[in-house]
Amino acid sequence: MASTKPSGGGTRRKTRARRAVDEVPDVPRQEFVRPANQESLTPAQLAEDVPRSLMAKDPNLRSNIVCYSFADNAFKHIPGGGGDDSVVFHFVMEGCLLHKDGDEAASQLAAEKSVREDLRARRRALEARAQEAGKTVAEVEEEEGDAGGRNQFNFSERAAQTYAPLMRDRGISTAPPETLEFGATASRWEAYDCYRAEFERLKSEEESGGLARPVLRPEERGGEATVHSAACGWSLKLLERMVVQNAQDELFSDFRFWEDESDMYKPGGMGTLLPLWRFSDARAKRKMVTAVDTNPRYPDLVAVSYGSYDFMRQGTGVVAVYSLKNPAFPEFVYTMDSGAMCLAFSPAQPSLLAVGCYDGTVRVYDVRKGEDRPLYASDIRSGKHTDPVWGVRWQSDPMAKDATFVSISTDGRVASWVLSKNELQMETLVSLKLVQSAAGGGDGAAGSGPAGAGAASAAGAGGAGGAAAGGAAGAGMVVADDEGTLTGLAGGCCFDFNPFAPHLFLVGTEEGRLHKCSKAYTGQYLETYEGHSMAVYAVKWSPFHERVFLTCSADWTVKLWDHMTPRAVAVFDLETAVGDVAWAPYSSTVFAAVAANGKAYVFDLDVDKHDERCVQKIVKKAKLTHAAFSATDPILLVGDSSGHVNSLKLSPNLRRITDIPVPEVKKGEAAPQPPSRLEVEVGKLNAVMLAMDVRAAVPIDSVTGKTVAPAKAGAGAGAGAAAAVP
């Protein structure tokens, strides 16, 4: 850009113009951008003229349009190409010009002409009138007014407008309804669950609830209520068991799997007892274990009663039910005012637990209920013993409507209690008459006195009274007093019913004597044995053999008897007072005894008739009071006087179970039936007894038959060194 100096006029003008164009910055410059794919034409082509014309008629229109006509039901050829569609109007204007030669024009001209003539005529008339009246045309017009036009005096235009309503927009928006998002999965098992739950609900409405897993009720939902609900409690209980099992993993493994290998190498088949758990409860501290019983239906449940054997120091009593599945804490605990001395689970209804107390009352608890109240409790009105109750046993009479159990006490009575609808009913079965022995064995007379509420059930009781005293038929037995006055009743310490003959039972007394009695004949003892020299602590029938029983006493001995023979078949002398003796459920020749020196003894008569298979000190400073075998597990439960129940695992030597011999098949005969376990066990015990005492194998005609040869000195216990003759 050259900056030229202004020189001449013309030149100045030119340059000024040029500068004006050049220096205006706002003029947009046009820039041409060529796209890459633009077609490039030659200048000749560019200069070519392309004609474009507008036509009214569509040049592309076809001339051979054919259309279907419904009127003629045929295709018709439309000439001229389809009518209105094909004509394009580019510009239309309605004109207002008429041709002067046309019709409309002529009529219009005629109308205009007539209007003009009319007006002229009127004017002439008006002028004529004006001339007559002598006024001007204007005045006349004023007077007459314009006849054809508007009334200019009282013509008013009136317009009115209607009231326009005020338009208003009003709206409401409502709060949206509460929505809840719900999602669920539907699968086959969920549908099954619903049906199942419905079915269960219907079924449970019919029958009363059992021990089903508790379900949360609607009022238990929410927060604390959920935590405290029964369902949560149940889960917690199970979880506690799991936690305890984890914590005591080794103990549980030992319980299940430990077998002492060294038993194979021990001489004489000695065994050991492996201590496992120790059950105890804070509430039962410093109390003695007075009874241990396992539940017949649930073998892991163990009921333990706590009380005191010490006359001077009596406290409250506790009954605790433990489960082997949770050794840390009892499942149920019941407290009572006086010490609990004995208990028993009912075999017919395993949730019923009968407990006998130190103050002579008996109670029945239903273990299913969680409360501390007994189902039944005896008191003065319903009758109670006047001395501590030492033993309770349930009656398994299928004919009886109500459950019944029997208790024995040192007040000399064996009483039966009937669980009627709302109370306990007491009946004295037998009154244990005190007898003094002269020599040998024989019958004793016992009068069933009017003590207690109601007469004894058997017919033989009746008016026996004093007359029975004179009717003592047995030789050598002198009744302490005659004429029926009850001088004293023997104090019953323990008793047991024969599992094979339920009417027959044995009673052990404080004086050391044993009496065989029958429920059917309560007037007299069937037989009296010179049992021990001190109180008999336990008498137990063998679970296999119907004639054999064991007794243990404070006179340091355990005696094995056949109830047909008046003298003990075998005597085992232990070093101190024997608290309890128990038969093993798996073998007829195995039994355990526990003593006051804290030792437990296990005997297996099949292996050794005189010595124990195992003697082991279980507790250091306490006395062992009771023992019980577990029905299904190889466990021995031993209660001691310090309030603990120790569970011990029996080593294999102590658990020897004899095999059932396979009978040999003789040629030509069918294979005989192998003997049952019961037969095997009975046979075993018979063999043992035979070896101990020849008379044990003597057959007896009737149950109440007397022995043939009385007063044989010394129970021939084979080569028994430990035999002691009372």
> Judged by CB under 8 A, does residue 324 bind other proteins?
no
Our CB check for other proteins shows the closer of 258 and 521 to be 258
We find the least distance from the C-beta atom of residue 438 to other proteins, in angstroms, to be 46
Residue indicated by tokens 């009246």: 133
Q: Of 248-256, 296-304, 672-680, 715-723, which segment contacts other proteins by CB under 8 A?
A: 248-256
Q: Of 148-156, 240-248, 456-464, 520-528, which segment contacts other proteins by CB under 8 A?
A: 240-248
Candidates 53, 151, 161, 246; binder of other proteins (CB under 8 A) is: 246
Type of residue numbered 381: R
> Judged by CB under 8 A, does residue 307 bind other proteins?
no
Candidates 16, 76, 285, 297; binder of other proteins (CB under 8 A) is: 285
* Enclosing H/E stretch for 290: strand 288-294
CA 475 from centroid of its chain's CA atoms: 64
We find the least distance from the C-beta atom of residue 665 to other proteins, in angstroms, to be 42
Distance separating alpha carbons of residues 444 and 479, to the nearest angstrom: 7
Our CB check for other proteins shows the closer of 153 and 265 to be 265
Our CB check for other proteins shows the closer of 116 and 286 to be 286
Candidates 278, 368, 369, 373; binder of other proteins (CB under 8 A) is: 278
Determine whether 720 is exposed, middle or buried from the number of CB atoms within 10 Å of its CB (0-12, 13-18, 19+).
middle
Q: Residue 622 — φ and ψ, nearest 5°?
A: -110, 170
We find the least distance from the C-beta atom of residue 281 to other proteins, in angstroms, to be 12
Our CB check for other proteins shows the closer of 247 and 725 to be 247
Alpha helices in 94-166 (DSSP H): 103-133, 137-144
> Judged by CB under 8 A, does residue 587 bind other proteins?
no
We find the least distance from the C-beta atom of residue 488 to other proteins, in angstroms, to be 38
> Judged by CB under 8 A, does residue 613 bind other proteins?
no
Residues 6+ apart with CB under 8 A from 90: 54, 56
3-state secondary structure of 238: helix
> Judged by CB under 8 A, does residue 678 bind other proteins?
no
- The packing angle between helices 230-247 and 249-257, to 10°, is 80
> Judged by CB under 8 A, does residue 240 bind other proteins?
yes
We find the least distance from the C-beta atom of residue 629 to other proteins, in angstroms, to be 18
Our CB check for other proteins shows the closer of 550 and 648 to be 648
We find the least distance from the C-beta atom of residue 235 to other proteins, in angstroms, to be 4
> Judged by CB under 8 A, does residue 533 bind other proteins?
no
- The length of the chain, given as a count of residues: 726
Asked whether 214 and 230 are in contact (CB, 8 A), the reply is yes
We find the least distance from the C-beta atom of residue 266 to other proteins, in angstroms, to be 8
We find the least distance from the C-beta atom of residue 601 to other proteins, in angstroms, to be 15
Minimal CA–CA distance to 353: which of 334, 366, 338, 368? 366
We find the least distance from the C-beta atom of residue 698 to other proteins, in angstroms, to be 43
> Judged by CB under 8 A, does residue 618 bind other proteins?
yes
Distance separating alpha carbons of residues 588 and 683, to the nearest angstrom: 9
> Judged by CB under 8 A, does residue 700 bind other proteins?
no
We find the least distance from the C-beta atom of residue 487 to other proteins, in angstroms, to be 43
Our CB check for other proteins shows the closer of 306 and 394 to be 306
Count other C-beta atoms under 10 Å from residue 704's C-beta.
14
Determine whether 344 is exposed, middle or buried from the number of CB atoms within 10 Å of its CB (0-12, 13-18, 19+).
buried
Q: Evaluate the CA torsion angle 521, 523, 528, 532 in order and state its sign.
A: positive
> Judged by CB under 8 A, does residue 120 bind other proteins?
no
Asked whether 424 and 417 are in contact (CB, 8 A), the reply is yes
Question: Which residues ranging from 121 to 180 are in contact with other proteins (CB under 8 A)?
Answer: none
Distance separating alpha carbons of residues 416 and 425, to the nearest angstrom: 8
Minimal CA–CA distance to 534: which of 403, 726, 725? 726
Asked whether 290 and 342 are in contact (CB, 8 A), the reply is yes
Type of residue numbered 349: Q
We find the least distance from the C-beta atom of residue 623 to other proteins, in angstroms, to be 11
We find the least distance from the C-beta atom of residue 189 to other proteins, in angstroms, to be 4
We find the least distance from the C-beta atom of residue 613 to other proteins, in angstroms, to be 14
Question: Which residues ranging from 629 to 658 are in contact with other proteins (CB under 8 A)?
Answer: 642-644, 646
Residue indicated by tokens 């239309």: 92
We find the least distance from the C-beta atom of residue 650 to other proteins, in angstroms, to be 12
Our CB check for other proteins shows the closer of 227 and 459 to be 227
Our CB check for other proteins shows the closer of 392 and 602 to be 602
Question: Which residues ranging from 185 to 224 are in contact with other proteins (CB under 8 A)?
Answer: 187-190, 192-193, 196, 215-216, 220-224
Q: Of 270-278, 538-546, 556-564, 718-726, which segment contacts other proteins by CB under 8 A?
A: 270-278
Residues 6+ apart with CB under 8 A from 7: none
Q: Of 83-91, 131-139, 231-239, 481-489, which segment contacts other proteins by CB under 8 A?
A: 231-239
Asked whether 569 and 562 are in contact (CB, 8 A), the reply is yes
Question: Which residues ranging from 369 to 428 are in contact with other proteins (CB under 8 A)?
Answer: 370
Q: Evaluate the CA torsion angle 667, 668, 670, 673 in order and state its sign.
A: negative
We find the least distance from the C-beta atom of residue 604 to other proteins, in angstroms, to be 18
Count other C-beta atoms under 10 Å from residue 396's C-beta.
14
Candidates 260, 397, 530, 546; binder of other proteins (CB under 8 A) is: 260
Angle (CA) 326 332 336, round 5°? 140
> Judged by CB under 8 A, does residue 699 bind other proteins?
no
Candidates 82, 275, 585, 726; binder of other proteins (CB under 8 A) is: 275
Asked whether 595 and 553 are in contact (CB, 8 A), the reply is no
Candidates 11, 204, 262, 485; binder of other proteins (CB under 8 A) is: 262
We find the least distance from the C-beta atom of residue 261 to other proteins, in angstroms, to be 9
We find the least distance from the C-beta atom of residue 468 to other proteins, in angstroms, to be 50
Candidates 67, 115, 227, 657; binder of other proteins (CB under 8 A) is: 227
- Written as six digits, the tokens of 664 are 């040999």
We find the least distance from the C-beta atom of residue 268 to other proteins, in angstroms, to be 15
Determine whether 476 is exposed, middle or buried from the number of CB atoms within 10 Å of its CB (0-12, 13-18, 19+).
middle
Q: Evaluate the CA torsion angle 105, 106, 111, 117 in order and state its sign.
A: positive
Count other C-beta atoms under 10 Å from residue 507's C-beta.
24
3-state secondary structure of 692: helix
Question: Which residues ranging from 467 to 526 are in contact with other proteins (CB under 8 A)?
Answer: none
- Give me the residues paired with residue 518 across strands: 504, 521
Our CB check for other proteins shows the closer of 248 and 658 to be 248
Asked whether 536 and 553 are in contact (CB, 8 A), the reply is yes
What is the longest distance spanned by two Cα atoms in the chain? 197
Count other C-beta atoms under 10 Å from residue 57's C-beta.
11
> Judged by CB under 8 A, does residue 569 bind other proteins?
no
Our CB check for other proteins shows the closer of 80 and 370 to be 370
Q: How many residues bind other proteins (CB under 8 A)?
A: 67
- Written as six digits, the tokens of 502 are 């339920």
Alpha helices in 336-466 (DSSP H): none
> Judged by CB under 8 A, does residue 292 bind other proteins?
no
Our CB check for other proteins shows the closer of 437 and 597 to be 597
> Judged by CB under 8 A, does residue 622 bind other proteins?
yes
> What DSSP character marks residue 656?
-
Our CB check for other proteins shows the closer of 195 and 500 to be 195
- Residues near other proteins (CB under 8 A): 187-190, 192-193, 196, 215-216, 220-224, 226-240, 242-244, 246-251, 254, 258, 260, 262, 272-278, 285-286, 327-329, 370, 598, 616-622, 642-644, 646
